[in-house]
Amino acid sequence: MPAAVSAVFVFVFDAVIIGVPAGVAAGRMIWRPFAAGLGVVPVTVVTAWIIAAIALGTVLAANGLAVGPSLAAVRTRPASLLKAE
């Protein structure tokens, strides 16, 4: 696996691990006063499999986008680029 793809995986995986729980907590904190202001019951329903699917899709999309530039970098010969200067 090219280095750029593994670096993207680590970055996005860490972002998902931190971002998903923080997003769920922030959403609950924001929803409760908003729902109370509307006069509805402030019940939050978070389906775990939907959140997991979105997180997995995010990681896969980021890795898919990193493959092209990574392969282009692997095919480039630094000596020929430096000689052109």
What's the predicted TM-score (pTM) here? 0.66
The parent domain of residue 51 ranges over 3-84
Average pLDDT of every residue of the chain: 85
Tokens 């530039």 -> residue: 69
- More confident position, 8 or 37: 37
Say how many domains are in the chain. Answer: 1
> How much is the CA Rg of the chain, to the nearest whole Å?
21
pLDDT mean over 73-84 = 78
User: CA-CA distances (angstroms) from residue 61 to 47, 58, 64, 77?
Assistant: 21, 5, 5, 28
Do 5 and 70 meet the contact criterion of CB atoms below 8 Å apart? yes
